[in-house]
Amino acid sequence: MFVRRRPHLREKVTLITGANGEVGHGLIQHLYALQDASDVVVLDLRGLDDSMRGMVNRVIVGDILDNELINLLLNEYEIDTIIHLAALLSTHSEFNPETAHRVNVQGTINLLKLAIEQGKSRGLPVKFIFPSSIAVYGMPDLETKARVTAVKEEDFLYPITMYGCNKLYCEHLGRYYAQYYQQLSASRSLGVDFRCVRFPGLISAQTLPTGGTSDYAPEMLHAAIRGKPYACFVREDARIPFMMMPDAIKSLLMLADAPQEQLNHYVYNVTSFSLTAQEIAERVQQNFPDAQITFEPDTARQAIVDSWPADIDDSAARREWNWSPEYDADRAFSEYLIPIITELASHEK
């Protein structure tokens, strides 16, 4: 008797790279709470924290620069969405610019190519969700930064960090792979469905970022709650936009879910509120009067923050996919940061 075998069906999944980073943790916990993480395959050099492993379909410990691994993913899964979070942040990248370039740019090309090949085999473009950053901007001087506040997507694109250059170039690569890839071949590629948000400085109540230049804000807060002194590495008047992690996750998922016919851009600014370092310190001190915060600016890191805009214009995202943040500065502190970090810190004692 011959048994008719069912053709092997590849499992349909969402791939999240860099899942063990700050945004990855927030995203996976959010999807898990919505019972929406069972089709998530995670790829990260460090795997995924033990406490979160059971939340997803599979954890792959590996490198986005490993082509064999990328081929394995291509053959094993039907990937309909890639959320590509893996990157080296701005301060970290300045210490290892060529490594940063490999991870941030070559890593992104590898995943865009994976998306192209997947798109071909399923006859439908893969959604490619990419977080970019305010680091793509380069304000020429402090006078211009003070004068031009809500900076639009297409203005002042002169990044002064390797990370900013990498992110800006990857935005262009996304547009290229979406619209022009193999434009001279007889059979045009389907491309990828590339969608990108430019994040401001992100602050999570649960985790601290590693290697970023906007890290002074979360570091100040997490130190105060644990009763530790903090020397802030930028001046009191340093001002950039910020966003709470739940809003960052919300923006990624809203953009991923937006009907394609509503989207007229590949890249969207998103923001919540802007504060100076002094204003953040004051809000921390209102809640923790004993907080010991001093300002000891590091000239080089200060220059990076000075090159980032004081505020960005996110009206395209608001108009085209109804973006709006949940947390303004008041709610961010009173309803998100202070209660959650206080609760977490109490368990550490």
Closest distance between ligand SER and the C-beta of residue 87, in Å? 9
Using CB under 6 A as the binding rule, whether residue 194 contacts ligand SER is answered as no
Closest distance between ligand SER and the C-beta of residue 167, in Å? 8
Question: Which part of the chain contacts ligand SER (CB under 6 A), choosing from 104-112, 116-124, 194-202, 244-252?
Answer: 194-202
Give the torsion sign (CA, 335, 311, 168, 138): negative
Using CB under 6 A as the binding rule, whether residue 133 contacts ligand SER is answered as yes
- Both tokens of 261, joined, read 């016919």
Q: Counting beta carbons within 10 angstroms of the beta carbon of residue 192, is it exposed (0 to 12), middle (13 to 18) or buried (19 or more)?
A: buried
Closest distance between ligand SER and the C-beta of residue 90, in Å? 3
Binding mask 86-115 for ligand SER (x = CB under 6 A): ---xx-------------------------
Between 59 and 197, whose beta carbon lies closer to ligand SER?
A: 197
Closest distance between ligand SER and the C-beta of residue 308, in Å? 8
Cα distance between residue 139 and residue 239, in whole Å: 12
Between 119 and 325, whose beta carbon lies closer to ligand SER?
A: 325
Q: Are strands 40-44 and 58-61 parallel, antiparallel or unpaired?
A: parallel
- Spatial contact of 241 and 274, defined as CB atoms under 8 Å apart: yes
Question: Which part of the chain contacts ligand SER (CB under 6 A), choosing from 9-17, 102-110, 207-215, 260-268?
Answer: 207-215
DSSP per-residue letters across 152-172 = -TTS-----SHHHHHHHHHHH
Using DSSP, state whether 294 is helix, strand or coil.
Answer: strand
Query: Using CB under 6 A, which of 199, 230, 273, 323 touches ligand SER?
Result: 199
Closest distance between ligand SER and the C-beta of residue 305, in Å? 9
Please report, as a single letter, which amino acid is at residue 316: A
Please report, as a single letter, which amino acid is at residue 223: A
The DSSP output letter for 273 is: E
**Which residues, at least 6 apart from 241, have a Cβ–Cβ distance to it below 8 Å?**
134, 200, 201, 271, 272, 273, 274, 309, 310, 311, 312
Using CB under 6 A as the binding rule, whether residue 116 contacts ligand SER is answered as no
Point out which residues pair with 11 in neighbouring strands.
77
Closest residue to ligand SER using C-beta atoms: 212
SS percent in the chain: helix, strand, coil, step 5? 45, 20, 35
Using CB under 6 A as the binding rule, whether residue 201 contacts ligand SER is answered as yes
Radius of gyration of the chain (CA): 21
Using CB under 6 A as the binding rule, whether residue 166 contacts ligand SER is answered as no
Number of residues that bind ligand SER (CB under 6 A): 12
Cα distance between residue 300 and residue 241, in whole Å: 19
Closest distance between ligand SER and the C-beta of residue 332, in Å? 16
Between 212 and 309, whose beta carbon lies closer to ligand SER?
A: 212
Using CB under 6 A as the binding rule, whether residue 177 contacts ligand SER is answered as no
Using CB under 6 A as the binding rule, whether residue 214 contacts ligand SER is answered as yes
Query: Using CB under 6 A, which of 135, 196, 248, 277 touches ligand SER?
Result: 135
The residue assigned the tokens 């509503």 is 262
Question: Which part of the chain contacts ligand SER (CB under 6 A), choosing from 61-69, 113-121, 129-137, 181-189?
Answer: 129-137
101: left (phi over 0), alpha (psi -120 to 50) or beta: alpha
Closest distance between ligand SER and the C-beta of residue 28, in Å? 19
Between 214 and 307, whose beta carbon lies closer to ligand SER?
A: 214
Please report, as a single letter, which amino acid is at residue 348: E
- Sites of contact with ligand SER (CB under 6 A): 89-90, 133-135, 163, 199, 201-202, 212-214
